[in-house]
Structure formats: structure tokens, C-alpha cells
Amino acid sequence: MAKGRSEAPRDERAAEDFVWFRSEMQRQGWDAYEVSNYAKPGWRAEHNSSYWQGDPYVGLGPGAHSFDGHRQRRANVRNNSVYQRALAVASGEDWFELEDLNDQEWFHEQVLTQLRRAEGLPRAAAQGRHLDRAWSKWVGQGLMLADESGWRLCGEGWLWADAIASDAFGLEP
């Protein structure tokens, strides 16, 4: 596309392909456990799943990210020379940036990552916000399920994951 040899697919075609592929993978026995990940039953990728579940992880090397499992993320500098120099000698240069997530940012993180999973967003993650009200139109259109355990995308709702998530932003507990 960048070289002008082909065009980007129309949104409608991309949506059709996504729905067809998801259906075909499930027909063949693959577990659609995340918006863009499939596995044979019992073979989910533990590595990526830990990100979506909010588990702690450590990133090593330039540009790598870490998360403490609570509210703090760390992003290592991307520049190889700066990273190596800062680690090799106590140069005083910062080799990472810290980000402390406030309550609203943490809520957004939970919605964005957990709604992507087949298990969806558990009710406890709502932290007192009225998500049933915010997401009623999506549930009414059959794009999302809501029950006592939480909220899950379904059918073509997977195509609307970001729009659905954004409807939860700005809600106060």
C-alpha cells in the first residue's frame, strides 16, 4: 500500500473478512480467546494473556515495558546507546520512565484489556460505574452480553471493541 501497488481494503470488506475468519476458526475447533488470538483448547498463549489480565511483567532491553501488576508501568528508553550507557556506568541518565496510573487510568486500562478477552470484563472491574447503562445499546443490538459475571463481546461486537470501550470512559464511580 505504501508503494501504491495495492489499496487498503474497504472497511466493509475488512469487517466481512474478520467475521468470516473468526467463524471459520471456531468451526475448525479453535478457541477465539481474544479479539485477535486463537488457540486449540488448552493451548492459549500465557505470555499475552498475562498482559490482558493485568498480571505483572518485566520488560528487558531498549523500548521494553514493565508493569508491577498494580498501578505502575515502566518504559525503557528506546535509544540503544542511551540505554547501554545508563546501565553500564552510573551516568545518572534515566533509562526508563515511570507512569503511575490514577483510578480513572486504571479503569480505562481494565476496560481496554479485559474487554478484548472472551471472558470479558468482570463486574468487579466496574468500580461502581454504571456500565449497564453505558452499554445498553450494545447489549440491545446483540453485540455484547451482560450477566451477573460481567460483560462480554459477542458476534459482530468484536468489530466494535474500541467504540464499546470508549462508551465506558468518563463514567464516574
Q: Which three cell numbers stand for residue 134?
A: 453505558
Q: Give yes or no: residues 113 and 69 share one domain.
A: no
C-alpha torsion 39→57→101→147, nearest 10: 30
Q: Which of 126, 129, 169, 160 is nearest to 142 (CA)?
A: 160
Q: Give yes or no: residues 109 and 165 share one domain.
A: yes
Question: Is 5 within the bounds of a domain?
Answer: no
Q: Give yes or no: residues 90 and 140 share one domain.
A: no
11 pLDDT above the threshold of 90: no
Domain boundary among 69, 84, 100: 100
Q: Which residues are bridge partners to 73 per DSSP?
A: 67, 99
Q: Give yes or no: residues 122 and 152 share one domain.
A: yes
Render pLDDT for 104-155 as a digit per residue (tens, 0 to 9): 999 998 999 999 999 999 999 998 899 999 999 999 999 999 999 999 999 9
Res. 91 pLDDT band, cuts 50 70 90: low
Q: Give yes or no: residues 62 and 110 share one domain.
A: no
Q: Which three cell numbers stand for residue 96?
A: 526508563
Domain containing 171 equals 103-173
Q: How many domains does the chain have?
A: 3
- Per the document, the length of the chain is 173
- On the 0-12 / 13-18 / 19+ scale of CB atoms within 10 A, 153 is buried
Render pLDDT for 41-58 as a digit per residue (tens, 0 to 9): 999 988 878 888 889 999
Q: Give yes or no: residues 118 and 164 share one domain.
A: yes
State the chain's mean pLDDT as an integer. 90
Q: Give yes or no: residues 85 and 135 share one domain.
A: no
Q: Give yes or no: residues 30 and 77 share one domain.
A: no
Q: Give yes or no: residues 116 and 96 share one domain.
A: no
C-beta separation of 57 from 49 below 8 A: no
CA gyration radius, the chain: 20
Single-letter amino acid code for the residue at 138: W
Q: Give yes or no: residues 92 and 110 share one domain.
A: no
